[in-house]
Structure 1
Amino acid sequence: MLKFDRQGLIPAVIQDDITGDVLMLAFMNQEAFQRTRETGYTHFFSRSRNAIWRKGEESGHVQEVRAIFVNCEENSLLLRVIQHGAGACHMGYRSCYYRRLQPDGTYETVAERLFEPEVVYANAPAVGAQFIAPLETAMRQLYDAYLYLRDHDLSEESNTSRLLHESLDRVGQGTINQAPTTAPWLYLVSRLADELQELADVQRGEHVHSGQQPDTILEGSQVGYWLLLLAATAKLHYDDFTPHVSMLRGYNERYSADVGTRFIASEQQENC
């Protein structure tokens, strides 16, 4: 049985399954460890933020777990992973151990920087990490439900299952200047385009039901629905497009870096 410390944490060494290089060291609590096992991607506990985070949730440089090893005293872990993206280090290197300690106590950089952190993290969600994990969990569960409806024909009980199965069999008819082509997700693409247009019209004040805020939620949820169905039909893995990251990024683009203040002010204005 794993032995977590007094703070409920256990150190986890992350190793590249292909090269054998040590990529990083992080800590897991029981929930982060469980999420790692359930999803197949590394999750850790941030002691500074007091929150669980998934590696790559901002950069997209996720770690796919291949094996988990436990040391002899059962108080540390070794995870062998496939490192997706440029690297594991938030400083832009493949490994967090990119410096060698010299005899005089100085550091020598011995690895090449593979990406610029300022660029990769420029559009990272500015909202607190406490919002990221719950949203990701909910979105993953929702997408898993759609995958189930895609893989099991429940058309008589579920309209979503019917749409998924019909879209897999649908044939695009082409246009005057385009030959007919088999496009299983053509119908879903057209519905997604329609909802995106309506969402844009809401923002311009040209499409009104109950007001901008509720209409944005309504049309935004429709965009999300058709997007997930399209992704399920295209057989994408959740980590291929991470919709929760795009949702938070769009939120932050509207409310700027001072998310809390702007959000409260907006809510007060809407309720007046």
Structure 2
Amino acid sequence: MLKFDRQGLLPAVIQDDATGEVLMVAFMNEEALSLTRETGYTHFFSRSRNTIWRKGEQSGNVQEVRDIFVNCEETSLLIKVVQHGDAACHTGYRSCYFRRLLPDDGYEFVAERVFDPDIVYGSMRAKSQGGEAFPIAIDYLSTNEQQKLESELRQLYGVYQYLRDNDMSEESNTSRLLQERSHGYLVARLADELEELAEVQSGEHVHTDRADDTILEGSQVGYWLMLLAATDNLRYDDFMPHA
């Protein structure tokens, strides 16, 4: 009999049935495992969102189950699948294991990204004044509040990337800041807002009340963080937390 942990979860190693490549590791509870067996496609339990999700429900990169194996202690699963679509990893790689750990604790990338998650996880595209399309991820398939927030943050960062790559300084101060690419200035502004956010919590910095001031200063922290990330050409997934 399978032995789920205290949280009711089992780790599941997902392996390509044809090549033997390890694609990912995720967690299943009893319901996710039951859905996986009933439908023939992998379902997992998200610990951060506290909900069941079907692999590929947004990207289309579903996993068709071929076999399910149990380890000797009945505490984990090995699931062999046919990986449909380009990749198993939400960051755009074929496998989640696309980096080799080096002796100095650094990473060596050993695979190429096969899709851009900012495009795959958002189906709408905005256009510049000249008609050139650029991707911003604002589409989502669930009313789950966390997924909605994720989509909106991706959309916002996509706008900042666009303002970085297209000079609209006359219409947008944000575009001007991104065109200047002043790393030191952006770091200083981010540090200032972080300090003010901390002072709101300690009661040293007050506009109205703690709740409203936290929202105000927190939004400023987010703004300067995104501008700094865009200036450094980071992808959204490089600096934002994900499940």
Q: Could you state the TM-score of these two structures normalised by the residue count of structure 2?
A: 0.52
Unaligned runs of 5+ in 1: 133-272
Q: Is 1:120 paired with 2:120?
A: yes
- Give the structure 2 partner of residue 95 of structure 1: 95
Structure having the higher helix fraction is 1
Q: Is 1:4 paired with 2:4?
A: yes
The total of aligned residue pairs comes to 132
Which of 1 and 2 has greater Rg? 1
* Deviant stretches of 4+, over 6 Å: none
Q: How does 1:220-231 map to 2 (within 5 A)?
A: none
Structure having the higher strand fraction is 2
- Give the structure 2 partner of residue 18 of structure 1: 18
Distance 1:130 1:68 in 2: 33
Deviation of residue 7 (structure 1)?
0.2
Deviation of residue 55 (structure 1)?
0.1
- Give the structure 2 partner of residue 160 of structure 1: none
- Determine helix, strand or coil for the equivalent of 2:5: coil
Distance 1:28 1:34 in 2: 9
Pair 129,65 (structure 1): closer, same or farther in 2 beyond 3 Å: farther
- When the two chains are superposed, the root-mean-square deviation of aligned CA atoms in Å is 1.7
- Determine helix, strand or coil for the equivalent of 1:45: strand
For 1:157-190, what per-residue CA distance to the aligned partner results, in whole angstroms no more than 9, with x for missing partners? xxxxxxxxxxxxxxxxxxxxxxxxxxxxxxxxxx
For 1:193-218, what per-residue CA distance to the aligned partner results, in whole angstroms no more than 9, with x for missing partners? xxxxxxxxxxxxxxxxxxxxxxxxxx
- Give the structure 2 partner of residue 50 of structure 1: 50
Distance 2:26 2:141 in 1: 22
Distance 1:116 1:75 in 2: 34
For 1:64-119, what per-residue CA distance to the aligned partner results, in whole angstroms no more than 9, with x for missing partners? 00000000000000000000000000111000000000111111110011111111
Equivalent pair of 1:10/1:29 in contact (CA under 8 Å): yes
Equivalent pair of 1:86/1:115 in contact (CA under 8 Å): yes
Pair 37,117 (structure 1): closer, same or farther in 2 beyond 3 Å: same
Deviation of residue 128 (structure 1)?
3.8
Unaligned runs of 5+ in 2: 124-138, 148-243
Percent identity, please: 70
Distance 1:64 1:29 in 2: 19
- Determine helix, strand or coil for the equivalent of 2:68: strand
Distance 1:121 1:90 in 2: 9
Equivalent pair of 2:23/2:96 in contact (CA under 8 Å): yes
Equivalent pair of 1:51/1:129 in contact (CA under 8 Å): no
- Determine helix, strand or coil for the equivalent of 2:57: coil
Distance 2:117 2:65 in 1: 24
For 1:219-268, what per-residue CA distance to the aligned partner results, in whole angstroms no more than 9, with x for missing partners? xxxxxxxxxxxxxxxxxxxxxxxxxxxxxxxxxxxxxxxxxxxxxxxxxx
Distance 2:7 2:85 in 1: 32
Q: How does 1:164-203 map to 2 (within 5 A)?
A: none
Distance 1:118 1:131 in 2: 17
Deviation of residue 125 (structure 1)?
1.3
Equivalent pair of 2:64/2:83 in contact (CA under 8 Å): yes
